[in-house]
């Protein structure tokens, strides 16, 4: 009886193991066939310097001295050589048999020499056709023919939870295969407004950048571009550029060596639930306009600060990250309809899309403050003062309140000293702030526990900030 029980137990274990094995995909055929079109990319950048100005930062008794001695060349005088080569590694994949290769812009950025190594060990010097830093896509070319080419897929058909495979050269290990699933689609990352990233849990490490992301049909659906990491290595969160975005970029780079993008000339932010309530929107959606560039396409069309852009060219803006991608993908000179929410109603505004030039850094000095007119913080926990005549001239503003100090519930918001409060937003109505007394009277109309949304100027930018949980009293 005991033997029979052991037999049954082992039989169940084998059945479970068999079922689990059958449920896992086999990547071997995909890797064998598609790996032929994946290449290793190495770049060399010559750094110019002066030997006498770069001595070793450690003496011979320091444990780090041996590391620097082994890995950093020294000049006879004890410093770095006058010129030395900085080398880096990346990946790429062949998109046409005559030698066009896609990779990341950051892989070839600043390179004096680019070398491509194929799986058959042949090496070629590559020419950079063009690179687009905004999407991190680059197109390079080698002089060869009859090369193996990847098949392209449709990222729109990808489903969250679907298996995907990366092939690349992490840490220089050619044609390494890693696999995982699609974690999310359409991700927006900070300072990356033009790419709806594919998020995966595929292991991506330094050297994988620029390599392809495959679906299980062996089609490229993305270019592995970034990881989210606190250590510098893989931590389970990776991002790929959808291949349709990359192919649009490469076609422009191949045609002209540069990328043309549309622009509206607005600064936007996300519509939070609190901001939607203040503006009278039924739900958080769209992109709220913080400021409108003077003389830009949006201003010429009649778009105003405080408008919420709900649709562009008939396409719904669910989140603020949708708008830059749609506008950038529109040919400059195109006349498009922009639907905005203004004062509790929608209206359609025709806009002629402009062309994006090199980005200018937005910034500006915070306003110089005089002594606060009232040292006791108001219901928002703010100490504010009216702008002096000099500040109004400097800021080119007729009114507003300078934030001198942020305390209490205000300190839990994004408001900071040096900000200038322009207006209070409530139930879709915008009330311009002209004096400390008027501002406090406006706040007195809110019930305890209410959220208060302010239109604020910070440097050259405008933004909406909501302070939650208004205090009682005045």
Q: Are strands 219-227 and 151-152 parallel, antiparallel or unpaired?
A: parallel
DSSP conformation class of 52 = G
CB 183 within 8 Å of CB 199:
yes
DSSP conformation class of 387 = P
Burial class, 20, CB count within 10 angstroms (exposed 0-12 / middle 13-18 / buried 19+): exposed
Residue 114 CA to residue 91 CA, distance in Å, equals: 12
Q: Is residue 209 flagged as an active site residue? A: yes
Tokens 């030395």 -> residue? 84
CB 158 within 8 Å of CB 198:
yes
> E-assigned strands of 275-393?
287-292, 308-312, 315-316, 335-342, 345-352, 354-355, 382-386
Token pair recorded at residue 272: 């939070």
Residue 64 CA to residue 54 CA, distance in Å, equals: 16
Residue 346 CA to residue 455 CA, distance in Å, equals: 21
Token pair recorded at residue 271: 């519509």
* Residue 114 CB coordination number (10 Å): 24
Residues 6+ apart with CB under 8 A from 117: 39, 40, 41, 42, 123, 174
CB 433 within 8 Å of CB 419:
no
Q: Is residue 45 flagged as an active site residue? A: no
Residue 236 CA to residue 180 CA, distance in Å, equals: 9
Selecting among 88, 91, 209, 413, the annotated active-site residue is 209
Token pair recorded at residue 384: 């504010």
Selecting among 42, 88, 91, 136, the annotated active-site residue is 136
Q: Angle CA(334)–CA(335)–CA(341) in degrees, nearest 5?
A: 130
Selecting among 45, 96, 106, 109, the annotated active-site residue is 106
> E-assigned strands of 325-474?
335-342, 345-352, 354-355, 382-386, 401-406, 420-426, 429-432, 452-458, 461-467
Residue 167 CA to residue 211 CA, distance in Å, equals: 6
Q: Is residue 136 flagged as an active site residue? A: yes
Residue 29 CA to residue 67 CA, distance in Å, equals: 42
Which residues have a catalytic role annotated?
106, 136, 209
């Amino acid at each position: 009886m005991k033997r029979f029980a052991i037999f049954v137990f082992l039989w169940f274990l084998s059945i479970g193991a068999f079922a689990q094995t059958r449920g896992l995909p086999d990547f071997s055929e995909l890797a064998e066939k598609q790996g032929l079109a994946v290449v290793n990319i190495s770049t060399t950048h010559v750094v110019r310097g002066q030997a006498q100005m770069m001595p070793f930062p450690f003496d011979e008794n320091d444990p780090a001295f041996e590391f620097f001695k082994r890995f950093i060349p020294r000049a006879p005088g004890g410093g770095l050589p006058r010129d030395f080569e900085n080398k880096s590694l990346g990946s790429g994949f062949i998109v046409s048999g005559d030698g066009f290769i896609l990779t990341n812009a950051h892989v070839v950025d600043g390179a004096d020499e680019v070398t491509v190594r194929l799986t058959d060990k042949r090496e070629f010097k590559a020419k950079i056709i063009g690179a687009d830093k905004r999407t991190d896509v680059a197109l390079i070319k080698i002089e060869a023919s009859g090369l193996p080419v990847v098949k392209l897929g449709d990222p729109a058909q990808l489903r969250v939870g679907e298996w995907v495979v990366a092939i690349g050269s992490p840490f220089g290990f050619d044609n390494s295969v890693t696999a995982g699933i699609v974690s999310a689609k359409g991700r927006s990352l900070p300072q990356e407004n033009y790419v709806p990233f594919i998020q995966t849990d595929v292991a991506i490490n330094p050297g994988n950048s620029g390599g392809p992301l495959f679906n299980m049909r062996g089609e490229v659906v993305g270019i592995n571009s970034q990881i989210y990491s606190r250590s510098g290595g893989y931590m389970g969160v990776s991002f790929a550029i959808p291949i349709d975005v990359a192919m649009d970029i490469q076609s422009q780079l191949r045609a002209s060596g540069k990328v043309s993008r549309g622009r509206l000339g607005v600064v936007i932010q996300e519509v939070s639930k609190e901001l939607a309530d203040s503006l009278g929107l039924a739900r958080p959606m769209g992109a709220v306009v913080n400021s409108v560039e003077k003389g830009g396409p949006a201003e010429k069309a009649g778009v105003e600060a405080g408008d919420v852009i709900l649709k562009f060219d008939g396409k719904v803006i669910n989140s603020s990250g949708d708008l830059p991608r749609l506008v950038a993908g529109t040919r400059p000179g195109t006349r498009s309809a922009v639907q905005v929410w203004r004062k509790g109603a929608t209206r359609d505004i025709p806009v002629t899309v402009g062309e994006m030039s090199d980005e200018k850094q937005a910034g500006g000095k915070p306003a110089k403050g005089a002594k606060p007119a009232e040292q006791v913080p108001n219901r928002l926990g703010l100490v504010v003062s009216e702008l002096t005549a000099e500040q109004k001239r400097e800021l080119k503003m007729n009114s507003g309140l300078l934030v001198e100090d942020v305390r209490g519930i205000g300190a839990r918001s994004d408001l900071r000293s040096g900000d200038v409060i322009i207006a209070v937003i409530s139930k879709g109505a915008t009330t311009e702030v002209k004096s400390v007394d008027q501002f406090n009277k406006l706040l007195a109309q809110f019930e305890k526990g209410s959220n208060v949304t302010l239109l604020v100027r910070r440097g050259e930018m405008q933004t909406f900030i909501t302070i939650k949980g208004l205090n009682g009293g005045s």
